[in-house]
Amino acid sequence: MATVFVPSSLRRYTAGQSKAEVRGSTVNEIIEDLERQYPGVKSRLCDEAGQIKRYVNVFVNDEEIRALQGADTPVSEKDEVSIVPAMAGGRK
């Protein structure tokens, strides 16, 4: 199973877990399994059409999926998937 690293902003949906072991051969399938295990996570990652929200960055082994095959990026059992919400705000 692949390991998904969960950012602190989503841990309220994963019972405080910072990582999860998930099944799937693509990022889409990984998100679906994460949703199966922790209902409510997918709506924080994906829009109504099921696409990963533009301010959510997903990495497979330190490679940003938008530079790969997007949500269809292959994931193997030994891969690490990191979810990184974009940061915004601050002072000028």
| pLDDT tens-place string over residues 10-57 | 999 999 999 999 999 999 999 999 999 999 999 999 999 999 999 999
Contact (CB, 8 A) for 42 and 24: no
pTM given for the model: 0.89
On the CB side of 31, how many CA atoms lie within 13 Å of its CA? 26
pLDDT at 85 over 80: yes
Tokens of 44: 């924080």
In this prediction, residue 53 carries a pLDDT of 95
pLDDT at 88 over 70: no
Going along the chain from its start, the domains and CATH numbers come out as: 2-85 (3.10.20.30)
In this prediction, residue 69 carries a pLDDT of 97
pLDDT at 91 over 80: no
Phi and psi, residue 26, nearest 5°: -140, 165
